[in-house]
Amino acid sequence: MKSLSVEPHGSASLPQPLTQLLAATTESLPEQANALSRARAFAEPLLASETLDTGENILAHADAVASILKTIGGSEAMQAASYLVYACDHLNKPQEVIAKAFGDNFAALAIETTKLVRVQRQARQAQVANARASTAIPMAQTVAAQTESVRKMLLAFSRDLRVVMLRLASRLQTLRFFAASKLPVPAGLAREAQQVFAPLANRLGIWEIKWEMEDLAFRFLEPDTYRQVARLLDEKRSEREVHVEQLRARLEAELTAQGMDAKVQGRPKHIYSIVKKMRGKSLHFDQVYDIRALRIVVATVPDCYAALSWVHSEFSPITDEFDDYIARPKANGYQSLHTVVRDRSGQPIEIQIRTQAMHDHAEHGVAAHWAYKEAGVKGYSGVSASGAYDAKIAVLRQLLAWERDLSGAQEHAGVFDDRIYVLTPEAAIVELPQGATAVDFAYSVHTTLGHRCRGARLDGVMVPLNTPLKNGQTVEVTVVKEGGPSRDWLNAELGYLVSHRAKAKVRAWFNALAVGETVAKGREAVEKLMQRLGKTAVKLEDLASQLGFNSADELFEVVGKDEFSLRNIETVLRPPEPVQTDEDYLPLKKPRSTANSAKGGVLVVGVDSLMTQLAKCCKPAPPDAICGFVTRGKGVSVHRTDCSNLREMVAKNGERVIEVEWGQPQSAGASVYPVDVAVEAADRQGLLRDISEVFAKEKMNVIGVQTQSMKGTAWMTFTVEVSDSGRLAKVLGIVAELNGVRSARRR
C-alpha cells in the first residue's frame, strides 16, 4: 500500500533499549527450525476461510502483521507468533495445543495477546451499545470507561513487550485494510488508534508506525479536513521537493566548507501533524512555516550556534519564529535550536539545529538515556546496569510515561491524577494512589512486608519512609525479621500512609493487639472470681456458652472492657435460692373495720396492722397504681395493677385481692423503693459508665446491674432506688438520648 507520508523519509530506526529488549524478548521464543513457515502452515487451515469482525480475512491479516513486525526488527519467532494469536479462537484448548506444537513461551504469548484483544473488543462493543441506548450519556462515564480500558491495556503491556509489538502491528494493518477496502471505519476503532496506539508507538520510538497510524486515523475521523490538507500539500509538490533538496545540498556543502562536520536532512511532514499545528496556533495553511523543513546535525553545542549564525547571515530570519531549546530545554528534556528563515525567493523554511546526542534524544525519547545513565554503576537493587534488564526498565518507564501522556492528549485533565505506577526490583508494575510512599508500596505487595518495613530505596538511593513516590521509580524496601507497624504511620500529618488499604492493615494490627490485652485482662478477672467461688473445675468454654457467648475469648473481651458484670457470672455459678410458690397463699376475707396503718408506706384499706411486702416481680413505687394480694404466711403482697403475675393470680384466686394504697412516709425522703430499668443499646466502650453517670447526676442510687452483649447489642438491667416513680420517666428520657441507646424503659 502507498504510504500516507507526504514527504519522502527514511526507514524508522528503533531506540537502542527497545532494540535490546526486542532481542531479549524474542530469545524467550526459541528459534525453532522453520518456525515461521510451520506457524503459518499450522494456522492456515484454521484461518483461511475466517474473517475478523472488521471483515478482513484473518490469514491475510496475520500475513500482514508478520510483515510489519519484520520491518521493525521482529525475529522470525515473533513473526510466527502473529499466526498463533489468531489461531487461539479456533482451538478448543489453545494453550495445550500450541504449547505441545511450539512450546510454552509461544502459548503464553498467544493467550496473553488474545486476552487483550478481547478486552479491547468488549470495551468498543460496550461503547457502541451505550451510544445506541441513550444519546445523553454523561461525558464522565465515557471518559471513565476509556480510562479503565487504557489501564487494563497498560497492565497487560507491562507483563510482556511482545504483546505491545503484536498489537501495534495488528492495529496498523486494520487501518490499512479499511483504507484499501473503502469500508466505513468504526469511530471507536479509529479513535483508539489515534489516542492510545499512536502515542504508544511514539513513546517507544517506532516513528514509522506512529506517523502512518496518526494519518490513517485522522483520515477516517475527519475525512473532509484530511482531503483538504492533502490537496494543499499536493499542489506544487514536485516543485517543493526539488527546491528543498537543492537547499539541503547547498547548506551541507557550505557548512562543511566552514569546517563543520554537519549533516543536513529533509524533514518529512505528515497531514495530522500539520493540522495539529494549524489548530494549536490558529494558523492558516500558508502560515505553517515548517511545510518546508530541514534539520542540521553537528558535533558540538558551539557548532550549533555557529551554524545558526551562518544560516542567519545567508538568509533572512523571521524574528518571532526563533526558539532556543538548548539554553531552555523543554520539560521532557528536548533540546534544539529552531529558526524560520526566508530563502532568496521569499519562501519560508524551518531549520532545526542540534547535536547528534540531542537528535538521538529527540528521535528515541528518554529511553535512549535511561538505560545507561540513570541506573549508574551499581544498577537497580544490585542488578548490573547493562543488558536486557535495563532495556526492560527503560521501556516499562516509557509505557508509564505514555499512560500519563494520555490524560493530556485526550484533554481530560486529572483523569490519571489519582494513580501512579512504580516498579519492583524485578520490574513488575505496582499501581498506587497519588502521593503514596514506600510503606504503601510494601503493604500493596504483602501485608507482612508492610508490617516489617523499616527502610526504602528509590532508584537505588536510600530515602525516608514518608517520601512520596513518583511514576516509574524502582522501589525496594528493607525489612526486619519480626515486628509490627509504628503508630506514627497513622498520623496523617507525618505522611507515611496514603492508601486506604494500607491504613486499614495498620489499624487492624493495633486493634488485634488491643483485643489481646483486653482478653487477657478479662480472663484474669473471671479466673479470680471462679477461684473465690471454688468453681475452678468449671470449663471456661462451657461457662461462656451458658452466658450466650460463642467462645470464652468473647466473654473475656467484654469483661475486660467492663461491659459485662461479674455478678452475671456469679449468678450462673451459684445455685438459685428456692422461690415460694402460689400454694403458700392463705385466703383472707376483707374485714369491715376502717382503721388504717402504714407499714412500709403502704396502707391496707379496712385492716389494721396487717403485714405488707412489695412484690419483686414488678417492684411498685409511688405513685404507681397498686393492688394487694393475700399470701400464705407473708401477709399482703403489693403489686402494680398492670403486673402480669397479678393478673394470673387474680384469674385463679380472685377472692384474695385486697384494696391497698400508698401511705405517707414517716419523714421526708426517708422511703425509697427499688425499681428495675431495662436498657437496649448498640454495644460500645464506655456505655455502662455513661448510663451510670446519668443515674448518679439525678441522685438515684444504683443497687444492681446485669448486662449481656451479643452480636453488637447490649441488654442491661439496672435496679435503682426511687422515692417517686413519676420522676423516673424523666431520667429514662435522658438515658434514651445517650449515644447508641435504642430504648430505656421500666420493667
Q: Give 537-557 pLDDT, tens digit per residue.
A: 788 888 888 777 888 888 888
What is residue 288's predicted lDDT score, i.e. its pLDDT?
A: 60
Whether residue 89 is predicted with pLDDT greater than 60 in this model: the reply is: yes
Q: Give the Cα separation of 610 and 635 in Å (integer).
A: 7
| Same structural domain, 31 and 133 | yes
Q: Output the furthest CA–CA distance in the chain (Å, rounded).
A: 146
CB neighbourhood size of 427 (10 A): 17
| Same structural domain, 170 and 266 | no
| Same structural domain, 163 and 211 | yes
- Residue 185 grid coordinates: 471505519
Which three-class secondary structure state does DSSP give residue 499? coil
Residue 77, domain member (yes or no): yes
**Domain count of the fold of the chain:** 5
Q: If DSSP states are collapsed to H, E and C, what string results for 595-662?
A: CCCEECCEEECCCCCCCEEECCCCCCCCCCCEEEEECCCCCEEEEECCCHHHHHHHHHCHHHEECEEE
Is residue 308 within 8 A of residue 341, CB to CB? The reply is no
Residue 385, domain member (yes or no): no
Q: Give the Cα separation of 194 and 406 in Å (integer).
A: 11
Question: What band does 384 get if pLDDT is binned at 50, 70 and 90?
Answer: very low
Question: What band does 176 get if pLDDT is binned at 50, 70 and 90?
Answer: very high
Which three-class secondary structure state does DSSP give residue 481? coil
User: Taking residues 161-175, what's their average pLDDT?
Assistant: 85
| Same structural domain, 562 and 589 | no
Question: What band does 600 get if pLDDT is binned at 50, 70 and 90?
Answer: low
Rg of the chain, C-alpha, whole Å:
43
Whether residue 734 is predicted with pLDDT greater than 50 in this model: the reply is: yes
* Average pLDDT taken over every residue of the chain: 75
In degrees, rounded to 5, the angle at the alpha carbon of residue 239 between the alpha carbons of residues 238 and 243 is: 115
What is residue 2's predicted lDDT score, i.e. its pLDDT?
A: 33
| Same structural domain, 586 and 717 | no
User: Taking residues 405-429, what's their average pLDDT?
Assistant: 57
What is residue 62's predicted lDDT score, i.e. its pLDDT?
A: 93
| Same structural domain, 652 and 694 | no
What is residue 455's predicted lDDT score, i.e. its pLDDT?
A: 92
Is residue 125 within 8 A of residue 149, CB to CB? The reply is no
| Same structural domain, 114 and 188 | yes
Whether residue 415 is predicted with pLDDT greater than 80 in this model: the reply is: no
Residue 744 DSSP class: E
What is residue 390's predicted lDDT score, i.e. its pLDDT?
A: 53
Least trusted range by pLDDT, from 77-86, 150-159, 189-198, 603-612: 150-159
| Same structural domain, 295 and 328 | yes
Is residue 701 within 8 A of residue 672, CB to CB? The reply is yes
What is residue 349's predicted lDDT score, i.e. its pLDDT?
A: 85
Classify strands 657-658 and 626-630 as parallel, antiparallel or unpaired: antiparallel
Q: Count of alpha carbons within 13 Å of 419, Cβ hemisphere only?
A: 16
Is residue 174 within 8 A of residue 57, CB to CB? The reply is no
Q: Give the Cα separation of 278 and 651 in Å (integer).
A: 101
User: Taking residues 104-127, what's their average pLDDT?
Assistant: 70
- Residue 12 grid coordinates: 524508522
- Burial code (b: 16+ CB inside 10 Å, e: under 16) for 177-205 equals bbbeeeeebbebbbbbbbbbbbbbbbbbb
Q: Report the run of H or E that residue 496 belongs to, with start and end.
A: none
| Same structural domain, 537 and 625 | no
| Same structural domain, 25 and 164 | yes
Question: What band does 345 get if pLDDT is binned at 50, 70 and 90?
Answer: confident
Q: Is the dihedral of CA 647, 650, 656, 658 positive or negative?
A: positive
User: What percent of the chain clears pLDDT 90, i.e. is strictly above it?
Assistant: 12
| Same structural domain, 635 and 711 | no
Regarding predicted confidence, which is higher, 372 or 500? 500
Regarding predicted confidence, which is higher, 125 or 373? 125
Report if pTM > 0.85: no
Whether residue 200 is predicted with pLDDT greater than 80 in this model: the reply is: no
Q: Give 660-705 pLDDT, tens digit per residue.
A: 888 776 555 557 888 888 899 888 888 888 888 888 888 888 888 8
Where is the domain boundary, 219, 252, 275? 219
Q: Give 475-523 pLDDT, tens digit per residue.
A: 899 999 888 899 899 888 899 999 888 999 998 888 888 888 888 888 8
Where is the domain boundary, 364, 389, 407? 364
What is residue 376's predicted lDDT score, i.e. its pLDDT?
A: 36
Which three-class secondary structure state does DSSP give residue 675? strand
Is residue 81 within 8 A of residue 65, CB to CB? The reply is no
Residue 112, domain member (yes or no): yes
Which range marks the domain in which residue 698 is found? Answer: 673-746
| Same structural domain, 271 and 334 | yes
User: Taking residues 98-108, what's their average pLDDT?
Assistant: 83
What is residue 61's predicted lDDT score, i.e. its pLDDT?
A: 94
User: Taking residues 461-476, what's their average pLDDT?
Assistant: 86
CB neighbourhood size of 486 (10 A): 15
Question: Which CATH number goes with the domain that contains 699?
Answer: 3.30.70.260
What DSSP string runs through 46-106? HHTT-B-TTS-BHHHHHHHHHHHHHHTT--HHHHHHHHHHHHGGG-SSHHHHHHHHH-HHH
- Residue 639 grid coordinates: 403489686
Classify strands 602-604 and 598-599 as parallel, antiparallel or unpaired: antiparallel
What is residue 424's predicted lDDT score, i.e. its pLDDT?
A: 78
Whether residue 575 is predicted with pLDDT greater than 60 in this model: the reply is: no
Greatest mean pLDDT range, 199-203, 262-266, 415-419? 262-266
